[in-house]
Structure 1
Amino acid sequence: MLEVLQPTEEPGWVLAHEGYSVLTESAVESRFALGNGFLGMRASRSTGRGPTWASWLSYIRWASWPRCYVAGLFDMPNTEPPVPALVPVADWSRVRLILDGEPLVAREGVMLYGMRRLDMRRGVLLSEWTHRTPAGITATGHELRLLSLADRAVGLQLQRIVLDRDGIEVRLEASFGLAGLGMEPVRLENDLGAWRTEGTGKVVAMAGAASLCLDDASINPERPFPLRWIFRWPSKAGQVAEFSRLVAVARADRSAEDPAPRATAALERSTSAGWRAILERHEVAWDVNWSASGIRIEGDDDLQRALRFAVYHLTSAANPDDDRVSIGARGLTGDAYFGHVFWDTETYLLPFYTAVWPDAARSLLMYRYHTLSGARAKAELCGYRGALYPWESADTGEETTPETVLGPDGKPIEILTGKMEHHISADVAYAVWQYWRATGDDEFFRDAGAEILLETARFWASRAVAEADGRRHIRKVIGPDEYHENVDDNAFTNVMARWNIACALRALDLVRQRWPEHASALQDRLALDDRELDDWRDAIARIVTGLDTATGLYEQFAGFHALRQLNVADYADHALPIDVVIGREQTQGSQVIKQADVVALIALLPEAFPEHGATINFRHYEPRCAHGSSLSAAMHARVAARLGDADMALRYMRETASLDLDPDPNSAGGIRIAGLGGLWQAAILGIAGLNLMGETLELDPKLPLSWRRLSFKVRWQGRSVGLSVAADVVEATLIDGDPMDITVAGLTRNLEARSSLRVDLPSEAFRGVAEVCA
């Protein structure tokens, strides 16, 4: 067993954390979390921690926050206001080690050594520790944990324990901790448990098996309770105890369904295969994913590591086999935001999956298709037509944003995002179109994507109201910059809305041309007639955009430029967000921006910024942004890279990477997965200049001088393409699939099957933004 407990030796693949601090422990548990899109597990220490339960005293900090999650398992907890939340399931990793009747607990005695490693290459968590108890007994342990990427129902834990003396009565207890938390037990057997959520009636089944060997001889466990194993033996100094545990999990979304047979079957195939086969298949699955999604940077070891960390968590979060779930703002790594899904998924995550893992992208977009009914219901409730997607979504597609929360003074604070942050409908539409353009998945486009585009367009046409000035306005909204609420004609919202409507009209024409009978049936089902389509065309022509044609500058929203100017740089040294420092009223009355707003529009719709418009707007808004959101820096990095400002792009990329990689990050509630998706975008859509929306696969690189080479793979309409960007040349290889066209720096060439293409880059491609503006 010892050999598999060793980390990958190749540099840049392993993150390590030594020691323990109550101030950083929860953040480490988030950063090193395991996941496979169906199951998630925080990287809590399994041995030596005491029990965990909820404390009412807010000033007491948990030394650890162990959590295991099942994607899609939502229920309504006893909170005020009531909002659905992701339910933690039984913590199956905890091990109690009792020596001569005294439990080994980290806070007692002396922790001589403690190290946790996230081996991103293999997708495993590795731990080592040496502990001296108050009685003077020294115990040393090694551990491996994984959630299988080859069989998403399965988790594995291996432990190797050695004591330093003879004659100690050793008792090892392995159990499923907190098995009844928030759920009603409906079935408890020796190796199987099933629990039902009280409100939603969902059922989760968990099956387990455990074994322990001393010098290759098995010890029979005591089984006093279901899902609990107790092993006893007298110690010998230096003797190795090897413990292994398997878990298998299944979810049912209706109380009438029984997931227990699926969990039992998964456990049976796992125990039959054995832990070595499970580990090997898991590592092979990670190899396949790294081969498809890995990024190689020559010349920047820090960002190389950060991008691997990003790809690790992006891979861990998605499940292409379940199109009824999506990815929450913290993935399956923490409790922040209750597991809710935001615009983050479509805007910050989907480009990664679309480019390297289309099956996962399709599944995430099908989640939006399955929840169209909830989006339609919200639009109708708000007095509009079509589909208005919820700002926060769980499993049903209903709006889950709380209407009020209690402030520090105990007074209610109204939350307006669920009522006014409507741009999410256009964000979903954008992701649908981008996915179809990049993949050519006509079946999805015909059967699901077109309907999403049409229904979101219908919403925007009803939302954009014609007024006396002859223009159509979208009033009382919140754009990405949430520091300014209840504004009129937010440029991001309005321009994306206009794009959404135009794209829907184009989509309808395509469906009519290719599948006329389907188009006719779809129009009949949606009651979409020519009169309404004419209204859509009118909306495209008359929606206010905020663009000043004389200067090329968009006003972020009506009246933004009349607000007080504030030098954001004066507040750069404050640890707290700027709105906390200067107060809500001053923030709303100034031109300080929470996150990329018009800048995000530059990234998504560069065609809306002709000539030097992108540079003009970026240079105007970048100094006004306080980056009060973890989403912001990565989007600024992407745009800065496209404008040729490599220094600024790298600075923002490093800022994004530091959010979850710094020794003391504020990520106790889970990793910020949208920021990690944004980091990938900055490198691939920004620096490499990959465009997934064109007629061909397009690349327009602007490599920083400090980078010697950037290499990655991309999927394009059923093909796999390897790309390598150096200072003056791009090399493209068609790994599999039919011949295709590829456009590099504006030059289109044909790429033959199983052949490579070399394209020399013009020196103009690497001029900095200062030169462009000179």
Structure 2
Amino acid sequence: MRQSLEPTPDPGWIIAHEGYNVLTENAVESRFAFGNGFLGMRAALAGGRGPSWLSWLGGVRWRSWPRCYVAGLFDIPNTEPPVPALAPVADWSRVLITLNGKPLLAHEGQMLRGIRTLDLRRGLLLSAWTHCTPAGVTTSGRGLALLSLADRAAGLQLLRAELDRDGVDVKLEATFAMASLDVKPMLLEQDLGSWRTEVTGKGVAMAGAATLRLGGKLREPERPFPLLWVWSWRSIAGQVIELDRMVAVARAGNPEDDPAPRAAAALERSRLLGWRAVLAAHEAAWNARWTASDIVIEGDEAMQRALRFAVYHLTSAANPEDEHVSIGARGLTGDAYFGHVFWDTEIYLLPFYIAVWPEAARALLMYRFHTLPAARAKAAQAGYRGALYAWESADTGEETTPEHVVGADGAIVEILTGKMEHHISADIAYAVWQYWRATGDDEFFLGAGAEILLETARFWACRGIAEPDGKRHIRHVIGPDEYHEDVDDNAFTNVMARWNIARALEALELLQAGWPERAAVLRRKLSLGDDELADWRDAVARLVTGLDPATGIYQQFAGFNALDPLDLAAYAGANMPIDVVIKRQRTQRSQVVKQADVVALIALLPKEFPGELAERNFRYYEPKCAHGSSLSTSMHGLVASRLGDAEMALRYLHKTAALDLDLDPNSAGGVRIAGLGGMWQTVMLGFGGVDLMGDILEINPKVPPQWRSLSFRLCWKGRVVAIRIAGGALQATLVQGEAMDIRIAGATHKLTAGMLQVSI
């Protein structure tokens, strides 16, 4: 066991935190969270933290916020407004140690050493500690926890400890802490429990097994209650205590489905393997993922580690085996946003999965296909045809954005994003097209993707109303800049809508040319006639974009240019969001942008900004952005890198990395996974110059001069290509698949077996 508890020796794969601070502990637990896309767990200390039952907190702050999550397990809690939330399940890692009848608590006595280590290479949370109690008893130990990437139902915990003196009465309890679990128990047996959510009727089952050895000898536990193991003994100084615990979890989507047998079977798989084989299989699965997705930077150790941290969490969040769940705004690392899914997934995360893990990307897009009926229903309820996706989505795809919240002063605050932030439908269509172009997955396109494209286009054609000025307008929306609500003709929304309609028309032409029978079936299914298609073409031609031909600047929305200018540099020292500093009403009257809006449009649709238009619009809007969202800095970094401004791009890249790595207290609600996906895009799509949207794979690198080299792999239509950029040359190697064309720095080459080297 001892060797397994040691971290990877290469410091480039290690994130460590030493010490304990109540002000940052919740953020540490988010940052060091671990998961496998089905299960997620915050990095709370296994022992010594005390109980975490819920009560009215007032001004008291929890030291720790232990949580274990199951993807897709939503219920509607007793909140106002009542919206679905990701329900926590039992904390299966809890260990309670008592010495001479007194619990061993981290905040009592003296913590001589305490360090948590995230081993990115192996996908492990490791811990080491030395603690002296008020009575002078010193306990030292190491721990390991994982949620298996090889068998997503399985988890493993290892603990190795020893005391420094003889004759201490020791009791160790390995428990499934259930104090905060607000679900109905359906079955409780010694090694197995199952519960059901009260409102949604979803089921979850958890099975466990625990073994303890003293000095290498197996010791039988007491079993006073289900899922509780208790051992008692008198200490011998230096005697090694070894605990290993396995857990297995299963989820059920409806009351008729019993998850208990699946959890029991998953536990039996792990028990037959033994913890060493469970650990080895998990490490092998992580090794395979790192082979596919690692990015190697020579010349910037800090960014190398930050980027691996990003890839670690992106890998931990996805489950290609389940196409009925998606990734929430904080993944499975915290409670913020109730586990709801936003546009973050398609715009900030999907490019990573498309490029290095297409199976995961496909599952995430199939979630949107399965929730298409809810998107149709939302559009119809608003008086439109087609599909309007939920701004915040849970398991069913119904709109879960609260219509109002109670402010800090007790006033009711209306929430308009669920009613007006419609660009989500174009964002999903964008991801569908990007996935299909990069993978050539015709089965997905025929069975799901084309229908999403057509139904979202139908919504936009209906949404763009023809007016007496001869143009079509989209009024009463919220763009990415949420500081300004209920605006008309938001450039991001309108241009993305026009693009969505144009791609749907193109998709239909491709269907009719390549699969005419499938095209006819789909048109009949959607009642899509020639007159409606003519209206779509009219929408593409006449939809307002906001571009001023005289200046080359896209007006962010109608009337934006008439708002009051605001010098953000004057507020550079403020440690609060700008809308808090200058108040909401002044913010709405000002040319201040919450996050990348037109800049995001430049990032997603660079062909809409030919010549100098990208540079001109970026330089115009970049000083106006207050970055009031964690989504913002990475988009600015991506555009700056493409424009060749490496200094600015690196500055934004490091700002994005600092959001979670610097233990911002706002990280307590979970890691900002969209920012992590945005970091990856800045490096791969920006500095690496990868273009996944063309007819062939295109790479136009602009690596910062500070970096000696940049290496990565990516997938392209069934192939795997390895790229290394260094010393003014690009090396491309076809690792897997048939020969292909590749465009490097504007020139097209044939990539066959062996290595292709091109000067850039």
Residue number in structure 2 paired with 1:765: none
Q: Which amino acid aligns with 1:311?
A: V
* Aligned: 1:751 with 2:751: yes
Kept in 2, the 8 Å contact 1:307–1:679? The answer is yes
- Partner of 1:93: helix, strand, or coil? strand
- Partner of 2:702: helix, strand, or coil? coil
Q: Which amino acid aligns with 1:537?
A: R
Distance 1:523 1:54 in 2: 53
Residue number in structure 2 paired with 1:767: none
- Partner of 1:92: helix, strand, or coil? strand
Q: Which amino acid aligns with 1:704?
A: P
Residue number in structure 2 paired with 1:491: 491
- Partner of 1:128: helix, strand, or coil? strand
Residue number in structure 2 paired with 1:66: 66
The verdict on how the C-alpha distance between 1:484 and 1:194 changes in structure 2, with shifts beyond 3 A counting, is same
Residue number in structure 2 paired with 1:100: 100
* Aligned: 1:231 with 2:240: no
Distance 1:351 1:92 in 2: 34
The two structures have a TM-score, normalised by structure 1, of 0.98
Residue number in structure 1 paired with 2:31: 31
User: What is the Cα deviation at residue 189 of structure 1?
Assistant: 0.3
User: What is the Cα deviation at residue 627 of structure 1?
Assistant: 0.3
User: What is the Cα deviation at residue 313 of structure 1?
Assistant: 0.1
User: What is the Cα deviation at residue 722 of structure 1?
Assistant: 0.1
User: What is the Cα deviation at residue 58 of structure 1?
Assistant: 2.6
Comparing 720-729 and 730-739, the one that deviates more:
720-729
User: What is the Cα deviation at residue 727 of structure 1?
Assistant: 4.1
Residue number in structure 2 paired with 1:676: 676
- Partner of 1:23: helix, strand, or coil? coil
Residue number in structure 1 paired with 2:373: 373
Kept in 1, the 8 Å contact 2:385–2:458? The answer is yes
- Partner of 2:668: helix, strand, or coil? coil
Distance 1:630 1:330 in 2: 11
Kept in 1, the 8 Å contact 2:54–2:180? The answer is no
Kept in 2, the 8 Å contact 1:484–1:588? The answer is yes
User: What is the Cα deviation at residue 666 of structure 1?
Assistant: 2.5
User: What is the Cα deviation at residue 701 of structure 1?
Assistant: 0.6
Residue number in structure 2 paired with 1:725: 725
Kept in 1, the 8 Å contact 2:53–2:179? The answer is no
* Aligned: 1:581 with 2:569: no
User: What is the Cα deviation at residue 180 of structure 1?
Assistant: 6.7
Give a deviation string over 1:470-505, Cα, whole Å, max 9, x none.
100000000000000000000000000000000000
- Partner of 1:620: helix, strand, or coil? helix
Give a deviation string over 1:124-158, Cα, whole Å, max 9, x none.
00111111112211111110000000000000000
Kept in 1, the 8 Å contact 2:163–2:238? The answer is yes
Kept in 1, the 8 Å contact 2:23–2:665? The answer is no
Kept in 2, the 8 Å contact 1:91–1:179? The answer is no
Give a deviation string over 1:21-55, Cα, whole Å, max 9, x none.
00000000000000100000000001111000222
Residue number in structure 2 paired with 1:406: 406
Give a deviation string over 1:87-129, Cα, whole Å, max 9, x none.
0000000100011111111121111111110110110001111
- Partner of 1:60: helix, strand, or coil? coil
Distance 1:344 1:399 in 2: 16
User: What is the Cα deviation at residue 11 of structure 1?
Assistant: 2.0
Distance 2:628 2:688 in 1: 27
Give a deviation string over 1:489-535, Cα, whole Å, max 9, x none.
00000000000000000001111112111111111110100000000
Kept in 1, the 8 Å contact 2:174–2:228? The answer is yes
Distance 1:324 1:664 in 2: 32
Residue number in structure 2 paired with 1:15: 15
Q: Which amino acid aligns with 1:266?
A: A
* Aligned: 1:391 with 2:387: no
- Partner of 1:677: helix, strand, or coil? helix
Kept in 2, the 8 Å contact 1:155–1:248? The answer is yes
Give a deviation string over 1:364-384, Cα, whole Å, max 9, x none.
000000000010000001111
Q: Which amino acid aligns with 1:39?
A: L
Residue number in structure 1 paired with 2:562: 562
Give a deviation string over 1:243-284, Cα, whole Å, max 9, x none.
000000000001110111111111001011000000011001
Kept in 2, the 8 Å contact 1:391–1:421? The answer is yes
Distance 1:429 1:542 in 2: 20
Distance 1:605 1:76 in 2: 38
Residue number in structure 2 paired with 1:546: 546
- Partner of 1:668: helix, strand, or coil? helix
Residue number in structure 2 paired with 1:706: 706
Kept in 2, the 8 Å contact 1:420–1:477? The answer is yes
Residue number in structure 2 paired with 1:604: 604
Distance 2:447 2:711 in 1: 35
Residue number in structure 1 paired with 2:455: 455
Q: Percent identity?
A: 69
Give a deviation string over 1:541-593, Cα, whole Å, max 9, x none.
00000001122110000010000000111112111000000000000000000
Distance 1:512 1:639 in 2: 36
Kept in 1, the 8 Å contact 2:208–2:267? The answer is yes
Which 4+ residue blocks in structure 1 deviate beyond 2 angstroms?
Answer: 663-666
Distance 1:110 1:650 in 2: 41
Residue number in structure 2 paired with 1:769: none
Kept in 2, the 8 Å contact 1:89–1:179? The answer is no
Comparing 517-526 and 339-348, the one that deviates more:
517-526
- Partner of 1:167: helix, strand, or coil? coil
Distance 1:494 1:566 in 2: 25
The two structures have a TM-score, normalised by structure 2, of 0.99
Comparing 131-140 and 416-425, the one that deviates more:
131-140
User: What is the Cα deviation at residue 182 of structure 1?
Assistant: 1.4
How many pairs align? 760
Extract unaligned runs of 5+ from structure 2: none
Distance 2:181 2:16 in 1: 31
Residue number in structure 2 paired with 1:770: none
- Partner of 1:162: helix, strand, or coil? strand
Residue number in structure 2 paired with 1:760: 759
Q: Which amino acid aligns with 2:759?
A: D
- Partner of 1:139: helix, strand, or coil? strand
Distance 2:233 2:746 in 1: 71
Kept in 1, the 8 Å contact 2:53–2:180? The answer is no
Residue number in structure 2 paired with 1:595: 595
Distance 2:569 2:488 in 1: 27
Matches within 5 A, 1:118-157: 118-157=118-157
Matches within 5 A, 1:737-748: 737-748=737-748
User: What is the Cα deviation at residue 170 of structure 1?
Assistant: 1.0
Kept in 2, the 8 Å contact 1:659–1:665? The answer is no
Distance 1:663 1:259 in 2: 37
Residue number in structure 2 paired with 1:51: 51
Kept in 2, the 8 Å contact 1:48–1:104? The answer is yes
Kept in 2, the 8 Å contact 1:211–1:243? The answer is yes
- Partner of 2:292: helix, strand, or coil? helix
User: What is the Cα deviation at residue 703 of structure 1?
Assistant: 1.1
Give a deviation string over 1:704-745, Cα, whole Å, max 9, x none.
110110000000000000001124111100001000000001
User: What is the Cα deviation at residue 663 of structure 1?
Assistant: 4.3
Residue number in structure 2 paired with 1:250: 250
Distance 1:307 1:232 in 2: 45
- Partner of 2:341: helix, strand, or coil? coil
Q: Which amino acid aligns with 1:759?
A: V
Kept in 2, the 8 Å contact 1:153–1:248? The answer is yes
Q: Which amino acid aligns with 2:680?
A: W
User: What is the Cα deviation at residue 698 of structure 1?
Assistant: 0.4
Q: Which amino acid aligns with 2:420?
A: M
Kept in 2, the 8 Å contact 1:703–1:727? The answer is no
Residue number in structure 2 paired with 1:359: 359
Q: Which amino acid aligns with 2:417?
A: T
Residue number in structure 1 paired with 2:442: 442
Distance 1:245 1:519 in 2: 54
- Partner of 1:676: helix, strand, or coil? helix
Q: Which amino acid aligns with 2:392?
A: E
Residue number in structure 2 paired with 1:466: 466
Residue number in structure 1 paired with 2:431: 431
* Aligned: 1:81 with 2:87: no
Give a deviation string over 1:178-201, Cα, whole Å, max 9, x none.
167110000000000000000110
Kept in 2, the 8 Å contact 1:180–1:195? The answer is no
Kept in 1, the 8 Å contact 2:172–2:231? The answer is yes
User: What is the Cα deviation at residue 62 of structure 1?
Assistant: 0.1
Kept in 1, the 8 Å contact 2:52–2:179? The answer is no
Residue number in structure 1 paired with 2:183: 183
Give a deviation string over 1:270-310, Cα, whole Å, max 9, x none.
01100000001100110000000000001111111110000
Residue number in structure 2 paired with 1:511: 511
